Amino acid sequence: MSEINTYKLIKEKLQAIPNQRRKGSLFEKVCKRFLEEHDSANEYESIKLWSDWELRGNKSDCGIDMVIQTTSKEYIAVQCKFHQDSVSFNELSTFFTQLLSGVGEIRFKKGIIITTSNLSANAQQAIEQIRSTGMGIDIDEINEEDFIYSRIDWEKFDPAQTQGELPLCDKKRPHPHQTEAIEKTKEYFSDPKNARGKLIMACGTGKTYTSLKIMESLEPKIMLFLAPSIALLSQTFREYAQEKSEPFYASIVCSDDKVGKSKNEDNDDINFSELPLKPSTRLEDILSVYEKAKQENKRFIIFSTYQSALRIKEAQERGLDKIDLMICDEAHRTVGAMFSTNERDDKNAFTLCHSDENIKAQQRLYMTATPKVYSEDSQTKAKESGNLVYSMDDADIFGEEIYTLNFEKAIALDLLTDYKVIILAVRSENLSGVTNSVNKKISQLNAEGTKLDKKLINNEFVCKIIGTHKGLAKQDLIALDDENKEDNDLQDKTDTIPSKRAISFCKSIKTSKNIKDSFQTIIECYDEELKKKSFKNLEISIDHIDGTMNCKVRLDKLETLNQPEQNTCKVLSNARCLSEGVDVPALDSIVFFDGKSAMVDIIQAVGRVMRKAKGKKRGYIILPIALEESEIKNLNEAINNTNFKNIWKVLKALRSHDSRLVDEATFREKIKVFGSDDGSNTDDEELDEESQKDKNEPNEKSKQAQKTLFDAIFLQDLANAMYNVMPTKLGDRNYWENFAKKTGSIARTLNKCLNALFDKNPEIFQNFLTSLRENIHQNIKEDEALDMIVSHIITKPIFDAIFGENIKNPIPKALDKMVLKLSDLGLEGETKDLKNLYESVKTEAARAKSQKSQQELIKKPLQHFFKNRFQKTERKTRDRLYAYGSGGFHFKSH
């Protein structure tokens, strides 16, 4: 059951309890269960109701509902509030007073507030004041998210039953792909030479749970978990506490949620007060929990944001031992420059994790769905500025890939749903009148108190709103079939089904709010201006969400998104708070309204629409674009300009994680170009007399408008222009350059190994050299023969994947015999690091059916390999090696 469905069910179940006494009794039992789950270190010796606590003396109800006694004889006061409305300061004041004063000689170490609603601003302020000045008393909050993630089985929970134990869900068990990742990671780190490694897992495949089980298999005493946001820290701690096999003490290290945000960047993270444990950056707090864990011989886990990583370094300087295991989540955030000046300390914080000079760690595991690599040009420029650049292809820093589960493999394993991209083009000139009408209405709305930024609502904005609505409604569109011909009756019938749930991503919170506030007005003006009845099959209900909203508000909005209504699509507009660390319902579509800052953000967002759901066949990625007439007249130039920048950025991000897009037939199937049909569709009888006259006798204005309407011929031109440049735009230049660099290093190692073997067995090499000179050319040199063997060892798996047993050239067969002899003599499999590359080529080869497409697939790796490996070899010799190395398929090398 989804988290949002759970939230709805919890509220219904608790509100159904028939009377206040029973409600109180059940709620206290539920709260006790939450406290047990909250106790990650198993340090709670007893949890008693206030009325049953023998040390309360003669004190009657004083705001404390429960008292916890820990194994170290410390006491924690608990207050439970079952409210639908927010909890005020007045309702907590007696609890605060008793918490600070204690009971008799008993002093409370900590307070915990359990509530089904959010706390008022005054109550939150009082908590912060106690935390900062309350004689070392912390206050933790257990809120709606703890209800959702609890192991209580809410479907079986019966509000009429007050006796017996609460029904619980079974703990998770690793899926086969997670088991494989766990076992491979354990094996990898069992080699003392491996201190760093990468775990690549697509969004939605259980990366957090996998990391917990990896950690438990490695058995570290001190672990550091780093994440880029407070939302992710919160989610991770809850998962670890819920699914742990062994107890652990935890310290959450983060400060104000604005840390690490530039002045122009939206603060879209949750408030740190919503964390399940009180966060801190005080060294005393971190070290006191560490000492407690050490005394009780329990594991100590630090959950920290990257922005607060410096405090870990300082804690180690004050006595915290070396980290046994550091897990860097969303590790793509740790790439980039380590700036040489203090002015970029906010950026440097994300790279502190890489060096023992900053944080001492025995093992480092870098986890991401989206590995990020910097080109050589970028690294060179950074070095020229005196900055150090970290790139995820640097094995010295990030280690080798331990396990990889990309989108393609996850889809094949039925872990994720497949996707389709809808590029929806709208002609700007068609809607200039609509934009004028919109601006008039906005002026009226602003006068009435609605705050809309007219600067943001230009003609492009209006066109994208119309494109978004049409993409969600699947109505008033011009479509093409697989042969790029007009398709009046879409071949794929599922593409005609309107969306029910969607999320829209845009570049700022301000833009997101404007989309929400102006959406309906723009649709109304569109209908009025073009005399249409648009989207009569679908109403769009749109709302805005961001990280500044409290937990209850966000959950309520997500719950609303999850409730289907007939002929309605629910849309949540946001900047980036829903891209990572927040669970969202099953989505039909996501919309990229305008440019997002990074390709990795795009993949995180796409992961939202690829989650599995009952009856769901695919998720849609909608990319609206407005086209000016000048662009339409010169499409080949337009598709390379800034207006298409967002589209290419999204498609490149998809290509980087979906190798299926290597083939033209595949990207024509998965990436569809649609046009907006902006012609009038009103029935004749509904036209007024003047409009009927215009229809029967078109005037100059209507003739001009007709010229600007989309038609299939223009749409074909646009689609062809885009498809023609896709191979270039989605190219793999950096990928194959990195392949060449890696193979170059392996080739050098192989060369040394072969020289050592031939020194001991000179007759084998001499026999081989003699054979080459007799069959190929008498002037072949010894080093050329050696290079041929090295090249063959590295490239053979590629040719085997593509051609199998169909290679007729006798030279590769002779080389096969040589390699077989060398294997018997102890030549190790130095190419094991290329396993992922070979698997990728094998997969792509299965799609490359024609000889032409097979040759194109070969060209990429081999041209880069031979150019990089033999760049100092004279051209004539390099071409000869290339020809023999390519198994008899001769291509022009450069």
CB 611 within 8 A of CB 525: no
Residue 440: how many other CB atoms lie within 10 Å = 11
Q: Using H for helix, E for strand and C for coil, what is the string for 431-472?
A: HHHHHHHHHHHHHHHHHCCCCCCCCCCCHHHHHHHHHHHHHH
Q: Do 36 and 81 sit in the same domain of this protein?
A: yes
Q: Do 105 and 220 sit in the same domain of this protein?
A: no
DSSP bridge pairs for 542: 571
670, 695, 729 - which closes a domain: 729
Q: Indicate the angle between helix axes 733-760 and 762-775, nearest 10 degrees.
A: 120
- Whether residue 447 lies inside any domain: the answer is no
698, 729, 760 - which closes a domain: 729
Q: pLDDT-derived band of residue 353, with 50, 70 and 90 as boundaries?
A: very high
- Whether residue 458 lies inside any domain: the answer is no
CB 139 within 8 A of CB 110: yes
Question: Regarding beta strands 400-405 and 196-201, do their DSSP bridges make them parallel or antiparallel, or are they unpaired?
Answer: parallel
Interacting residues of 212 by C-beta distance below 8 A, sequence separation 6+:
239, 240, 243, 244
- Whether residue 165 lies inside any domain: the answer is no
- Name the DSSP class of 213: H
- How many domains would you assign to the chain? 4
What are the tens digits of pLDDT across the range 265-275? 455 556 666 67
- Name the DSSP class of 426: E
Residue 355: how many other CB atoms lie within 10 Å = 15
Q: Give the pLDDT confidence score for residue 856 in this predicted structure.
A: 62
Q: Which residue has the tokens 């170490």?
A: 109
Q: What angle do CA 108, 109, 113 make, to 5 degrees?
A: 80
Q: CA-CA distance, 226 to 366, in Å (whole number)? A: 10
More confident residue, 236 or 18: 236
Q: Give the pLDDT confidence score for residue 89 in this predicted structure.
A: 93
From the number of C-beta atoms within 10 Å of its C-beta (0-12, 13-18, 19+), residue 258 rates as exposed
The H-or-E segment that residue 389 falls in is: strand 388-390
241: its two tokens: 């506490």
Q: CA-CA distance, 39 to 241, in Å (whole number)? A: 8
Q: What angle do CA 315, 317, 318 make, to 5 degrees?
A: 65
Q: What percent of the chain has pLDDT over 70?
A: 74
Query: CA separation (Å) from 683 to 295, 454, 531, 695?
Result: 81, 34, 10, 12
- Whether residue 410 lies inside any domain: the answer is no
Residue 691 has pLDDT above 80, yes or no: no
More confident residue, 759 or 455: 759
Q: pLDDT-derived band of residue 260, with 50, 70 and 90 as boundaries?
A: very low
Q: Do 739 and 682 sit in the same domain of this protein?
A: no
485: its two tokens: 């011909």
Q: Do 552 and 477 sit in the same domain of this protein?
A: yes
Q: Across residues 35-64, what is the average pLDDT?
A: 87
Residue 596 has pLDDT above 80, yes or no: no
Residue 411 has pLDDT above 80, yes or no: yes
Q: The domain spanning residue 15 has which CATH number? A: 3.40.1350.10
Q: Do 550 and 611 sit in the same domain of this protein?
A: yes
DSSP bridge pairs for 341: none
Residue 684 has pLDDT above 60, yes or no: no
Computed from CA positions of residues 274, 276, 280, 281, in that sequence, does the dihedral angle turn out positive or negative?
negative
Maximum C-alpha span of the chain: 107
What are the tens digits of pLDDT across the range 632-679? 888 888 898 778 988 998 998 888 778 777 667 778 888 999 998 877
Q: Do 581 and 643 sit in the same domain of this protein?
A: yes
- Whether residue 795 lies inside any domain: the answer is yes
DSSP bridge pairs for 303: 225, 252
Weakest mean pLDDT among 51-55, 846-850, 861-865: 846-850
Residue 826 gets the label, from left (phi > 0), alpha (psi -120 to 50) or beta, of left
Range of the domain at 337: 176-405
Q: Do 722 and 747 sit in the same domain of this protein?
A: no
681, 713, 729 - which closes a domain: 729
Weakest mean pLDDT among 243-247, 343-347, 624-628, 863-867: 343-347
Q: Give the pLDDT confidence score for residue 78 in this predicted structure.
A: 95
Q: Do 200 and 86 sit in the same domain of this protein?
A: no
Q: Do 610 and 670 sit in the same domain of this protein?
A: yes
DSSP result, 562-606: HS--TTEEEEEEESSTTTSS------SEEEE-S--S-HHHHHHHH
Q: CA-CA distance, 248 to 233, in Å (whole number)? A: 16
What are the tens digits of pLDDT across the range 649-659? 899 888 877 87
Of 222, 244, 218, 225, the C-alpha closest to 292 is 222
Q: Across residues 510-534, what is the average pLDDT?
A: 85
Q: Give the pLDDT confidence score for residue 306 in this predicted structure.
A: 94
Q: Do 714 and 769 sit in the same domain of this protein?
A: no
What are the tens digits of pLDDT across the range 83-123? 777 899 999 999 999 999 999 899 999 999 998 888 888 99
- Whether residue 284 lies inside any domain: the answer is yes
Of 556, 480, 550, 884, the C-alpha closest to 710 is 480
Q: Give the pLDDT confidence score for residue 317 in this predicted structure.
A: 97
Q: Do 811 and 871 sit in the same domain of this protein?
A: yes
- Whether residue 451 lies inside any domain: the answer is no
- Whether residue 459 lies inside any domain: the answer is no
More confident residue, 318 or 823: 318
Q: CA-CA distance, 671 to 419, in Å (whole number)? A: 9
536: its two tokens: 């009569």
Residue 580 has pLDDT above 60, yes or no: yes
Q: Do 682 and 788 sit in the same domain of this protein?
A: no
Q: The domain spanning residue 551 has which CATH number? A: 3.40.50.300
